[in-house]
Structure 1
């Protein structure tokens, strides 16, 4: 398996499933007469980030992960989304961005150095494989799982198959 095959399909599967989860969450709000901003601002615990920020971070970890692994310019996206439609649009843009990468861009990326910020005045450097398996994918899945958990906790009828994108 190529390094591209270890990276791009994983990001795409979850980005697509999150888009589906947001569609179900939006329908849930309409059916239950819940103001969407309430669900978008929901958290699993007061010190955790809200649903909208979880989606934004999933998007960031996918775009920045691909960019850093391929030594491409790292894009920045302001976190301005406040509606389901805006968050789904962000996911769609992220999907298009991730799809734009070609397998040859990832050749040798597993052994190349990847440097990324780890605070205001600090950075960390890892080999690509370590960056992917110890930082990028774990953070990506953490925020995707937390978004799913927030929706499930708030009564949106979703399950594991929805998370995996099987529906």
Structure 2
């Protein structure tokens, strides 16, 4: 929305009953008497996140899988589907890695063990992030604290924060 302005009358007057104070409506240049401090805390993340916005995937296969997952952004969730027009969470991961020439298992529980475990602090784009102790959801790390996933029925493939659910494990395929 645009900035709200006080209507002006002839001669620049506003029609208000009180005179306009000098500096009114302008931001103060005084420093705030306090500081804002924020710290991002994620479940299962003892260290700081790496994999900033320009982090490189760990391999050419991971880069190809990550590119395929990005190409699926906006497509609908459908339980039991593995593409090319709809996906569930593990189907999206299997489809993306198939485009990279890598066969991974179909279920999120099996995908949790489809590669080498890595800590969240070393996650790279293309790594699989498995959620909950029962490994009932899986997503692909996208860098900068984000994942790409097919979240739930009625939703579309999208980016979300990596800490959206309790992390069970991270697997590098």
- Radius of gyration: which is bigger? 2
Q: Between Structure 1 and Structure 2, which shows a larger proportion of strand residues? A: 2
TM-score, normalised relative to structure 2? 0.25
